[in-house]
Structure 1
Amino acid sequence: MLAFIAELVKFKVAPPIFVLRVIKTLLADFTPTHVVLLCTVMEACGRYLFLLPHTHSLMEGYVQSMLRLRHARHMDLYHQTLIDSAYFSVLPPVRIRRKGDGEGEEESVVQKYIKYIILHKLGEPGACVDDIITSLRRLPWSSPTEDILKHVLKCMLKIAYTHYTTIPALADTISGLNPYHSRLIVTLVDCVWEHVQNGLEVPLKRDLQRTLGVVRLFGEMYNFMCISTGEVMDFLYHVLHFGHAETPTPAPISTPI
């Protein structure tokens, strides 16, 4: 029930004060049972409340109080692990960029232009998809020095990951590029299948929003006739039957004693 209320707060259905009162009560009586409940709430909406301007300072104090209680009281390894997991869900460790990751490489003018068209111009209110398609078609797709397909694909997947409401316009853009660059759709569908397969095999909460985004992109591509009905049916069959046997097997018959 607490996890459900926390999700309501995270999606702005319920006010944050509901969860903040619960956290304060659980910290006041830091029993093993309340530790489990507290960690459940922290993992569900702690990060969201920590980033809100009007609840940031309060959540920061609650997190520090949770850590002080962890070190001040004797707890078993299970509850210590729960608290550590809740803490890092609210304050994830800073990722250190290593040389060769590609994050610090300087972008070319063409790459910056692709990012501007897809990530910014496409998401503007009243954006004209035809103008965006025309701009993308003018790119030097056959250039040996610029991998245009790779950069366009990267920006399109980023739209699916982070800009959920822009996905229909993105699918419309892909449909307009399909007659001229059919390889784009083939590569994009492969990326969607790979991401969904990884999400099925390793279902992590942090990847759930991205998985929903790429699945919606797959559906919108069908609406704009970029993929066939057979591909959609194969996709649904694969998702629904993942983890189950191909054919039903009868239960073993117990031999009489």
Structure 2
Amino acid sequence: GREGDEEEEEEEEKVGGGGGGEGDAAASASGAAAAAADGFVSEKRKADDAAEDAAAGAQHAAKVDALLLRLPKCVLKAEADAFSLDFCYVNATPSARRRLVYELVSVPRSETQRLPFYARIAATLSQVFTKDVGAPIAAALEEEFAYLKQKRDQGSCENRLKNARFLGECVKFRLVSSQVAFKCLKSLLEDFSHHNVEVTCALLESCGRYLVKSPDTAQRASAMLDIFTRLKSAKNLDARTTRLADSAYNACRPPEVVAKRGKIRPPVHEYVRHLVFIVLKPGTETVVVRQLRKLNWSEHESYVLKCLLKTHRGRHANASLVATVITTIGKTRQASLVKFVDAVLEDVRFGLEMNKPWMHQRRVATIRLLGELYNRGAVTSPIIFNTLYLLVSFGHDDGPSGSGAGGGSGSRDAGAGGGGDGSYPECDLPNDTIRVRLACTLLETCGRHFDRNPLSKTLDRFLPFFQRYVLSKEPNLEVSYDVVDLLKTLRPRLVPCETYEAAAAECARVEHEEAAKARAKGKFAGGGGGKGGKTLPPAPNGLGEIAEEDEEDEDDDDD
């Protein structure tokens, strides 16, 4: 009898040692969940599984292994559904199902992005393998939650957060009952401190809104949220935890946002905007023109022109389409075309005066529209060149940016330039290159028409002043390359000026030749140009004026 008792004690010690080994393995969160899901598989069950696998064959085991290797990559809805479908057709033996459950509940704590898709896979397969997939996972998560709640150590916080999120995802797929979620939430609220606050927030963010919106659980979930709110206010939480609690509450009960009411416009105005901003595309210009002509222009002319001017709100190609529309309308309504051109020029001037960064896109679109209007004969070449000279002269003081703004000769426009105290004008700062972009855009749009006399001579006169303006700035590489490409396109044989002094010398040479030519014709001397027959000095900004005979030739050429 004594020998039998000793054998029983040895067996009990072995059993106790085995239980202790399993307890040590369950010290981590994934180990606890895996042990619960595995159901503490006995040796007999393992032997039966081995026999089933052997009966299925080595090829079947290889298929299962290859399929389970795809599981960590299921981070999309389509991939999760494809995995579930393939697992159903792989002849999943009970051992294969247990391996799947083990893999699903053993998600690393740093891979929480897999949890929604793992819950989807588990919910899909639980409809086929109810007892082998759904129930073990639900029991494993519930047991893991209770186990981790009792540990209360710093290292288990991330595991608890992962478990709470996985539990919440399974609640949304009805893999875990809502009663289990309320039970876990109640246990957390009873000890609302330390890591329990973060775990509560994670659980509410995962399934809180689902519980609030479900008719069967809405009342109880609302009561839980009220308790959560009161505890948050009563506890002395730090700023980080307070933000987490607020985020969790807003996830369950999003604040009501009143939709911003759009501007109420008359139906005719809405129709005009529909034509200009939506219907107007390449090939639909005729349709838009026909519909706009049917409007009562005495009443809606100003709004139509206003919408056509907003080319920056449409596509890049809208500038040429708008120019086509307005020039076609201008054949029968010349006054409307004149008003539109005046509005474009006024907008260019307004951009120069304001010079706000948010206006850059609008200014580029407007200057491109001006070029397209010239391409269609709506404006003449003097308007284009006057705009180009305005871009390089308005509020700009001659001299490089490093020499100080007060050392220049001033601006043609009173009050636009900087003072003599070394300050720069706000409308043209040294590092502001928007005007260079505008000039490049305008010349790229319509500069190809300036390749014949006398327009060719007028463009040749402008290019030195343009280069002087560019060299007085501090352009970046992109703007510098745009200028070089523009000069190569317009004048392939032109040798660009390398320094500001060279560009200034070229401008002085042009002005000297024009002044000598003007004296020879008696425009500045003798016949009443200056007081007592004296010669008048050139323009104070150094740009001089375009010769009148060139302007007359240009007008003849445009006609």
Q: TM-score, normalised by structure 2?
A: 0.24
**Higher relative contact order, structure no. (Cα contacts within 8 Å, ≥ 6 residues apart):** 1
Larger Rg: 2
